[in-house]
């Protein structure tokens, strides 16, 4: 079974390192979607794929890499979009 989720992450994120960290794990778990920095300073992450893989990547996004400070997360269930890979947008 598949699912899709949109996350908004707020915190002190070394943006390049955080983006690469999430991309690496998204690829490892074979989920699709995208990550982008928003003008309001939050990071938006759309993830879709098998339920267990999406849940694992959500947990990783909420934890972040070693030196990231996550202040808040917002999570929304979404409709599947049919992405073929995971991309970093607005790089």
The residue length of the chain stands at: 91
Catalytic residue among 19, 42, 71, 76: 19
Six token digits for residue 31: 């989920």
| 19 has catalytic annotation | yes
- Angle in degrees, CA 9, 38, 23, rounded to 5: 60
Q: Are 19 and 64 in contact (CB under 8 A)?
A: no
Dihedral sign for Cα atoms in the order 31, 77, 52, 57: positive
Catalytic residue among 6, 36, 37, 42: 37
Q: Write out the catalytic residue numbers.
A: 19, 37
């Amino acid at each position: 079974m598949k699912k899709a989720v949109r996350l908004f992450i707020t915190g002190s994120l070394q943006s390049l390192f955080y983006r690469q960290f999430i991309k690496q794990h998204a690829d490892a778990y074979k989920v699709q979607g995208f990550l982008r920095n928003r003008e309001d300073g939050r990071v938006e992450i759309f993830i879709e794929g098998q339920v267990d893989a999406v849940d694992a990547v959500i947990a990783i996004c909420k934890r972040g890499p070693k030196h990231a400070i996550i202040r808040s997360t917002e999570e929304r269930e979404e409709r599947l979009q049919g992405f073929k890979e995971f991309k970093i947008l607005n790089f």
